[in-house]
Amino acid sequence: MTRHHVTVLAAVLVAWLIGCPSASADATAFLSLSGGQAVRSGWGVAAGIGFVIVGVEFEYADTKEALEDGAPRIRTVNGNLVLQTPIAIGGVQIYGTAGAGGYRQNLGELGETNATVNLGGGVKVRLAGPLRLRFDYRFLRFLGSPLGGENAHRFYAGVNVGF
């Protein structure tokens, strides 16, 4: 690559960074389906802040117990690193996440509290103004002695508001 190409590339990169907002924040309320021993419904909230392509997010989720299937109630609190497209392409912003936190499981009288790690991703689809739909998939790994198995999968759909 010639010096001229490097200069042009650097100028384009600087112009692009100047044109991008330095930080943005959003909040999501969601409904979920979680799999493991049984498919169960749940709900949660998430809030995050992003800096161009890198961001952080904090999330709380609560999945119902299915006692007849031996599937515990699971409550998680996670902090996640988010990598995302810097702008919405065709009204869709794509992201990936990786994070860690804690969980609490209850199955009847039994309970377990320990750490969890997760990996996932999804899309935010623009509706109007700051309002977006959010679709997310997460793979969760429960450490310690989890009651309902070491792994769970969660898909959620929610309403996201950027500010």
Q: Which domain holds residue 127?
A: 22-162
Residue 13 placed within a domain: no
Distances (CA, A) of 45 to 64, 73, 101, 137, 145: 15, 17, 15, 14, 26
Residue 10 placed within a domain: no
Please state, as a whole number, how many other Cβ atoms lie within 10 Å of the Cβ of residue 51. Answer: 13
Tens digit of pLDDT for each residue in 73-106? Answer: 999 999 999 999 998 999 999 999 999 999 999 9
Residue 54 placed within a domain: yes
Residue 155 placed within a domain: yes
pLDDT on residue 11? 67
CATH number, domain at 98?
2.40.160.20
Q: Is the dihedral of CA 62, 66, 67, 72 positive or negative?
A: negative
Do the Cβ atoms of 137 and 119 come closer than 8 Å? no
Tens digit of pLDDT for each residue in 99-151? Answer: 999 999 999 999 999 999 999 999 999 999 999 999 999 999 999 999 988 99
Residue 8 placed within a domain: no
Residue 39 placed within a domain: yes
Domain count, the chain: 1
Tens digit of pLDDT for each residue in 17-48? Answer: 555 556 789 999 999 999 887 999 999 999 99
Residue 11 placed within a domain: no
Residue 17 placed within a domain: no
Say which residues have a Cβ less than 8 Å from residue 158's Cβ, sequence separation at least 6. 28, 29, 30, 31, 44, 46, 133, 134, 136
